[in-house]
Amino acid sequence: MAIPFPVRFWIFLISLIPSFVCYVFVLWHLLCDRVLRSTLSNHTIILLLIINLIYELINIPLYLSYFYHSGNVFPSTPNICLLWIFIDEGLFSISLLITAWASVERYIIIFHKKLISTWKGRALFHYGPLIILVVYLFLFFSFAVVFPPCKNAFEYDAPVCGSPLCYYDVKLVGIWDVLFHDISPIVVMAVFNVTLFFRVIL
């Protein structure tokens, strides 16, 4: 039995408020404390918090609107669908890949700290990967969602306008997205977290 739309609406809304407060509190704490702000390992956390806060402030209200209008996207326009899908898929993938990189970076900080002991090392192994990941994924999803190599068909009576989009039917693009944006980050996280666990224990 499906949960009625009004119930879903209130569940999402009630959950959104404390979640937003927590995001703001943690971000404020990390950004206002100079020591915490300058700690390299916190930069990835700060970036993740900002990305997920944007995700929450755009994606969840769109879901609330969908539930409020009894399972219909409102307003029912292609631009709203493009925005919703870009945020839902793009920011999710950015968050996932940055989390995967955080697993790698934590390993570097613990076992290969010399790599980030100089400005050049920090640029190469800390700032560089974060910037490259964000820029690359922004460009990829701009291409795949906003300027796809195919024609999108939106479903205004489905959440996220019936995502995924037509680019999943373009074999190379679809495989690339699933392999490098979904599977690879999970494998990286598993490998580095398990490796870290056994290195610390043993």
Structure-model confidence comparison of residues 149 and 96, the more confident one: 96
Surface-to-core class of residue 22, CB atoms within 10 Å of its CB (0-12 exposed, 13-18 middle, 19+ buried): exposed
Residue pair 29/88 in contact by the 8 Å Cβ criterion: no
Contact (Cβ atoms closer than 8 angstroms) between residue 195 and residue 107: yes
| Alpha-carbon span 198 to 110, nearest angstrom | 13
Of 40-54, 89-103, 148-162, least confident by mean pLDDT is 148-162
| Confidence at 1, pLDDT banded by 50, 70, 90 | low
Domains of the chain: 5-201 (1.20.1070.10)
Residues 149, 167 contacting (CB under 8 angstroms): yes
pLDDT at 164 over 80: no
**What average pLDDT does the chain have?**
92
| Cα distance between residue 96 and residue 106, in whole Å | 15
Its pTM surpasses 0.75: yes
Q: At what angle do helices 128-141 and 92-111 cross, to 10 degrees?
A: 160
**Cα 182 to chain center, whole Å?**
11
| 45-85 per-position pLDDT tens digit | 999 999 999 999 999 999 999 999 999 999 999 999 999 99
Residue 148 pLDDT > 70, yes or no? yes
- 165 pLDDT band, cuts 50/70/90, is confident
pLDDT at 172: 86
Cis peptide before 164 (omega within 30 of 0): yes
